[in-house]
């Protein structure tokens, strides 16, 4: 039993960690640049999942090729990021940047509550199932375990591509460089002509898009139902805190740790499943209060 | 060239600047002296739009106080803040180039301005590939000057550039400023300094600020 169950737990953990990473890296990017802990971040995960599931079901109804689901995930995530994320930054967050953190936290919490109810209003309380992409990619055999290629290969590859792409974007593009500059020193960035407000907008849209991409990609692997956003925001907080807030590579490692920890608990100590991510977080923070990769240097992303 | 008229700044309802009036001519180098907390830094920051102010800020006859802070550097104003404020995630060269990239200057124009910076501060060329976080405090001041010069084609504001510099670096920095002035006779410079002695060798005018008000404005010849 134990070897095969270990493999199964590892595969589960990697697939889940990949999704958690996408959400957590968006949150940590937003925090690194804007210093706002966005409680509504998990709602964008849920919105991405709902948008992808409804679009996918509609596309299947129209008889379109199931392969189109893959580009659709990206489109759905970008639409949620640009519309909902863009509107939230432009009309809400821009008004509260100068205020204290408690108020910012309360405002994003209010947005979270509203978005939770918007989901119930639009999609109802019954779960949505959309597993065509899962079937489309078929199964693979790993050490005697048959597992979906979607979860074994596709999700980790997407997470890795996002990690490398994000690092490349921040390092080699002008938009990325100005994001890094504003993160380090907003005033010095303004003094060389950088429009920090536009940088905040761009960062928030990217962060929200990553969260909803996580949701869109999760939709084939789970039933899409109310409350999924709340669970994810707590997990991505745990990942971001474990990694050290603002750490991109750290978020990847922490997401993998928490994903594996959670899946191991599911198989070996199911009663610990829910508490596992926090146990890992507490253990890490006891030893390194600044997080696994947190540093006291000026660099935040 | 630059006219500050009745400039007021309050931070947390404490008045910091109380009606500052200052005129700087084309090609003039002004040493802006005063004790810590007198309002030197705040005057420069208000000119850049980094603190809210009332009163008028006029550059070449154009009121710029309503222009967004991030749009002011492109008008030809370079600013090197007091504590260097380099971006440690980038190399020295990337720090110097970033203002040109943000302003979307053509490659030719960027190269022309880089050449100008390197002709005045040749040491920056060797430092180019080094991470900005790894250079010493004094070298960092040079990098900050180089970065300010990329956009500062009309006016350069230097906040306490000599503070904390070893004597040899301070004289090297002063030499670079003299080279800059010799190269571009139309460039105006405002340099804040707690110790006016350092600036006498090349400032044309020394303006003293006390408790947020200009107290004195003297030509350097008169000081001697």
Q: How many CB pairs under 8 A join A and B?
A: 68
Examine residue A294 and state whether it is found in any structural domain, yes or no.
no
Which fold, B26-52+69-223?
A: Rossmann fold (3.40.50)
Q: Specify the CATH number for the domain of residue A283.
A: 1.10.3470
Residues of B with CB under 8 A from a CB of A: 48-50, 68-74, 79, 81, 85-90, 94, 98-99, 101-103, 133, 147, 150-151
For B70, name the nearest residue in chain A, comparing CA atoms only: A193
Examine residue A70 and state whether it is found in any structural domain, yes or no.
yes
Structure tokens at A279: 């146990």
Q: What is the pairing mode between strands B54-59 and B2-11? A: antiparallel
Which residues 150-179 on chain A approach chain B with CB closer than 8 angstroms?
174, 177-178
Q: Which of A187, A193, A299 sits opposite B50 (nearest CB)?
A: A187
Within an 8 Å CB–CB cutoff, is residue A188 touching chain B?
yes
> Quick check: B98 and A192 CB within 8 A?
yes
From chain A, the residues in CB contact with B68 under 8 A are 195
Does the pLDDT value for residue A252 go beyond 70? yes
Give A98-126 pLDDT, tens digit per residue: 899 999 999 999 999 999 999 999 999 99
pLDDT number for residue A212: 97
Does the pLDDT value for residue A196 go beyond 80? yes
* A188–chain B nearest CA distance, Å: 6
B62-63 sheet: strands from edge to edge: B14-24, B2-11, B54-59, B62-63
CA distance B141 to B135: 10
Give B73-115 pLDDT, tens digit per residue: 999 999 999 888 999 999 999 999 999 999 999 999 999 999 9
> Quick check: B88 and A188 CB within 8 A?
no
Quickly list DSSP for chain B: -EEEEEEEEEETTEEEEEEEEEEE-TT-EEEEE--TTSSHHHHHHHHHTSS--EEEEEETTEE-TTS-GGGSGGGTEEEE-TT----TTSBHHHHHHHHHHHTT--HHHHHHHHHHHHHH-THHHHHTTSBGGGS-HHHHHHHHHHHHHHH-SSEEEESSTTTT--HHHHHHHHHHHHHHHHH-TT-EEEEEES-GGGGTTT-SEEEEEETTEEEEEEEHHHH-
The neighbour count for residue A97, using CB atoms within 10 Å, is: 14
pLDDT number for residue B223: 47
Task: For residue B54, list its beta bridge partners.
Answer: B8
Does the pLDDT value for residue B224 go beyond 80? no
> Quick check: A192 and B81 CB within 8 A?
no
pLDDT number for residue A298: 45
> Quick check: B73 and A299 CB within 8 A?
no
From chain B, the residues in CB contact with A189 under 8 A are 87
DSSP letter for A140, please: E
Average pLDDT of the segment spanning A245-260: 91
Examine residue A169 and state whether it is found in any structural domain, yes or no.
yes
Percent share of chain B, pLDDT over 70:
96
CA distance A140 to A142: 6
Domain boundaries, chain B: 26-52+69-223
Give A21-53 pLDDT, tens digit per residue: 999 999 999 998 998 999 999 999 999 999 999
Does the pLDDT value for residue A5 go beyond 60? yes
Q: Which of B73, B88, B94 sits opposite A191 (nearest CB)?
A: B73
Q: How far is CA B67 from the centre of its chain?
A: 19
* A185–chain B nearest CA distance, Å: 7
* A160–chain B nearest CA distance, Å: 22
* A103–chain B nearest CA distance, Å: 19
Structure tokens at B209: 């600020």
Name the domain count of chain A. Answer: 1
In 3D space, the residue among A11, A76, A87, A71 whose CA is nearest the CA of residue A45 turns out to be A76
Q: Which of A178, A189, A193 sits opposite B74 (nearest CB)?
A: A193
pLDDT number for residue A299: 45
Examine residue A300 and state whether it is found in any structural domain, yes or no.
no
Examine residue A57 and state whether it is found in any structural domain, yes or no.
yes
Does the pLDDT value for residue B135 go beyond 80? yes
Asked if residue B72 lies in contact with residue B49, where contact means CB atoms within 8 angstroms, the answer is yes
From chain B, the residues in CB contact with A177 under 8 A are 90, 94, 98, 101
DSSP letter for A289, please: T
Within an 8 Å CB–CB cutoff, is residue A83 touching chain B?
no
pLDDT number for residue B171: 86
Q: What does residue A142 show for φ and ψ, rounded to 5 degrees? A: -120, 110
Give B4-52 pLDDT, tens digit per residue: 999 999 988 899 999 999 999 999 999 999 888 889 999 999 999 999 9
CA distance A225 to A215: 11
CA distance A128 to A67: 20
State which residues form the domain around A208: 2-287
Query: Could you tell me the pLDDT band of residue A90, with boundaries at 50, 70 and 90?
Result: very high
* B71–chain A nearest CA distance, Å: 6
Query: Could you tell me the pLDDT band of residue A300, with boundaries at 50, 70 and 90?
Result: very low
Does the pLDDT value for residue B59 go beyond 90? yes
* A25–chain B nearest CA distance, Å: 19
For B67, name the nearest residue in chain A, comparing CA atoms only: A193
Q: Which of A184, A193, A196 sits opposite B87 (nearest CB)?
A: A184
Query: Could you tell me the pLDDT band of residue A87, with boundaries at 50, 70 and 90?
Result: very high
Examine residue A301 and state whether it is found in any structural domain, yes or no.
no
N- to C-terminal Cα separation, chain A: 42
Examine residue A299 and state whether it is found in any structural domain, yes or no.
no
Examine residue A162 and state whether it is found in any structural domain, yes or no.
yes
pLDDT number for residue A244: 85
Average pLDDT of the segment spanning A226-245: 90
* A193–chain B nearest CA distance, Å: 4
Give B193-217 pLDDT, tens digit per residue: 876 677 777 788 989 999 988 887 8
Alpha carbon separation from A72 to A24, A76, A81, A217 (Å, rounded): 22, 6, 14, 10
């Amino acid at each position: 039993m134990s070897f095969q169950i270990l493999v199964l737990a590892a595969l589960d953990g990697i697939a889940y960690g990949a999704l958690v990473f996408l959400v957590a890296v968006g949150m940590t990017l937003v925090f690194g640049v804007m210093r706002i802990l966005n409680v509504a971040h998990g709602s964008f995960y849920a919105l991405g999942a709902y948008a992808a599931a409804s679009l996918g079901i509609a596309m299947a109804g129209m008889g379109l090729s199931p392969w189109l689901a893959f580009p659709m995930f990206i489109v759905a995530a970008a639409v949620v990021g640009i519309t909902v994320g863009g509107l939230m930054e432009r009309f809400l967050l821009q008004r509260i940047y100068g205020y204290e953190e408690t108020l910012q936290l309360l405002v994003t919490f209010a947005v979270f509550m509203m978005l939770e109810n918007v989901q119930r209003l639009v999609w109802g309380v019954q779960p949505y199932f959309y597993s065509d992409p899962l079937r489309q990619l078929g199964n693979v055999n790993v050490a005697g375990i048959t597992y979906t290629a979607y979860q074994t290969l596709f999700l980790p590859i997407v997470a890795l591509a996002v990690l490398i792409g994000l690092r490349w974007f921040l390092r080699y593009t002008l938009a990325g460089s100005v994001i890094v500059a504003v993160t380090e020193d907003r005033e010095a960035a303004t003094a060389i002509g950088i429009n920090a407000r536009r940088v905040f907008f761009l960062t928030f849209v990217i962060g929200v898009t990553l969260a909803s991409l996580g949701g869109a990609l999760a939709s084939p692997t789970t039933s899409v139902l109310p409350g999924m956003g709340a669970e994810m925001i707590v997990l991505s907080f745990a990942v971001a805190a474990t990694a050290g807030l603002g750490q991109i590579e750290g978020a990847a490692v922490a997401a993998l740790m928490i994903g594996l920890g959670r899946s191991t608990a599911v198989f070996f100590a199911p009663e610990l499943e829910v508490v596992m991510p926090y146990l890992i977080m507490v253990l890490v923070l006891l030893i390194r209060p600044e997080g696994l990769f947190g540093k006291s240097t000026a660099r935040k992303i | 060239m630059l006219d500050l008229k009745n400039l007021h700044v309050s931070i947390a309802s404490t008045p910091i600047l109380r009606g500052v009036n200052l005129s700087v001519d084309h090609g003039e180098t002004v040493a802006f002296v005063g004790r810590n907390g007198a309002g030197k830094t705040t005057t420069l920051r208000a000119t850049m739009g980094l603190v809210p102010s009332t009163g008028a800020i006029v550059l070449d006859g154009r009121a710029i106080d309503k222009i967004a802070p991030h749009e002011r550097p492109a008008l030809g104003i370079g600013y090197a803040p007091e504590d260097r404020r380099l971006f440690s995630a980038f190399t020295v060269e990337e720090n110097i180039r970033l203002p040109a990239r943000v302003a979307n200057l053509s490659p030719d124009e960027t190269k022309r301005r880089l050449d100008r910076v390197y002709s005045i501060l040749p040491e920056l060329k060797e430092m180019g590939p080094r991470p900005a976080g790894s250079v010493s405090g004094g070298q960092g001041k040079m990098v900050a000057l180089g970065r300010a010069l990329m956009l500062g084609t009309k006016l350069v504001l230097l906040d306490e550039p000599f503070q904390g510099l070893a004597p040899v670096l301070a004289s090297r920095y002063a030499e670079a400023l003299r080279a800059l002035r010799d190269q571009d006779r139309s460039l105006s410079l405002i340099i804040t300094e707690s110790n006016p002695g350092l600036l006498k060798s090349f400032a044309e005018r020394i303006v003293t600020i006390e408790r947020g008000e200009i107290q004195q404005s003297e030509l350097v010849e008169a000081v001697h």
